[in-house]
């Protein structure tokens, strides 16, 4: 039996869940049970990070695989009742500090933009067609264009900066971030001036993200570790920003995400897909 919309906790899914459903590593009948469970008990959210990574998969693929590479995105969007989440730092500042006007620069509000981009991608047959312009969803006579390649390059920059930071920690040029610095970074990322009171609130609310960052800093000190393989950890850290909302849950295939947040006050809201599937 489901819960009322007003009292439902929130849940978003990781990129690896979408990919594993699309390539049938997760059997379709099993996913249907999980899908029904999530739909009945949670308010389904779509993470910017998951969306970004699936857009990148499409952008970097050849045109002959365009339809195939859209399948994970279809999995992400197949819940009829869904809400698109803004950029993680924006979400944190709105949720924790009540700064509702904080937003990234875009022609539309982020949530509306991402919904529109997804609809346009499903209608298009190549990235070039999408860039040239597609009929605007729900607005006859309008054209909507989106450059997936530009989006991918722009949104990949923080990931590269993340690798530089890890290399700096390995070389003792950069210290391991403390929670106040992480909070200050989130504020600066949204064009806000950090102050002690705001950073203190954010510090507590970003507990899982900080715990992961701290453990990753320890990993970077291992000279044998291949830091290039840690590039995707930036996305994991950003996903954890959404847990600043106490009703938010994260469904992932990645046990590392749970392990790297062990001891965090938000660890229990990171749900492993295999555990949920076994439960059902």
Q: How would you class 162 by CB atoms within 10 Å of its CB: exposed for 0-12, middle for 13-18, buried for 19 or more?
A: buried
pTM for the model stands at 0.88
Which pLDDT value is given to residue 21?
97
* Structure confidence at residue 147 (pLDDT): 92
| Model pLDDT, residue 175 | 61
Boundaries of every domain in the chain: 5-279
Over residues 208-242, the pLDDT tens digits come to: 998 888 777 665 555 556 555 655 678 888 999 99
Exposed / middle / buried, residue 84 (Cβ in 10 Å: 0-12, 13-18, 19+) = buried
pLDDT at 1 exceeding the cut of 50: no
First-residue to last-residue Cα distance in the chain: 14
What pLDDT is recorded for position 169? 58
Query: Which residues are bridge partners to 144 per DSSP?
Result: 134
The more confident residue out of 160 and 88 is 88
Give Cβ neighbours of residue 100 (< 8 Å, ≥ 6 apart).
94
Which residue in 110, 147, 124 sits closest to 70, CA to CA? 124
Q: What is the dihedral of CA 90, 96, 101, 106, to 10 degrees?
A: 10
Rounded CA-CA distance 264/260 in Å is 9
List pLDDT tens digits, range 172-214: 666 666 788 889 989 998 999 999 999 999 999 999 998 888 7
127-143 pLDDT, tens digit each: 999 999 888 767 788 88
């Amino acid at each position: 039996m489901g819960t009322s919309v007003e009292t439902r906790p929130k849940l978003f899914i990781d990129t690896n869940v979408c990919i594993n459903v699309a390539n049938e590593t997760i059997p379709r009948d099993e996913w249907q049970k999980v899908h029904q469970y999530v739909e009945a008990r949670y308010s389904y959210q779509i993470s910017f990070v998951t969306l970004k990574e699936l857009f990148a998969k499409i952008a970097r693929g050849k045109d002959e695989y365009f339809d195939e590479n859209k399948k994970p995105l279809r999995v992400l969007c197949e819940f009829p009742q869904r809400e698109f989440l803004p950029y993680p730092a924006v979400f944190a500042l709105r949720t924790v500090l009540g700064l509702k006007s904080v937003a990234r620069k875009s022609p539309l509000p982020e949530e509306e933009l991402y919904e529109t981009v997804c609809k346009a991608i499903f209608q298009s047959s190549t990235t070039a067609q999408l860039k040239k312009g597609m009929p605007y969803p729900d607005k006859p006579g309008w054209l909507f264009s989106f450059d997936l390649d530009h989006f991918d390059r722009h949104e990949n920059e923080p990931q590269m900066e993340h690798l530089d930071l890890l290399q700096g920690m390995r070389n003792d040029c950069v210290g391991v971030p403390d929670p106040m610095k992480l909070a200050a970074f989130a504020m600066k990322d949204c064009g806000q001036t950090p102050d002690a009171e705001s950073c203190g609130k954010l510090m507590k609310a970003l507990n899982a993200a900080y715990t992961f960052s701290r453990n990753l800093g320890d990993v970077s000190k291992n000279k044998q570790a291949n830091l290039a393989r840690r590039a995707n950890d930036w996305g994991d850290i950003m996903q954890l920003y959404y847990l600043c909302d106490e009703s938010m849950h994260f469904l992932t295939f990645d046990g590392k995400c749970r392990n790297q947040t062990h001891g965090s006050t938000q660890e229990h809201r990171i749900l492993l897909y295999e555990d949920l599937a076994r439960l059902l």
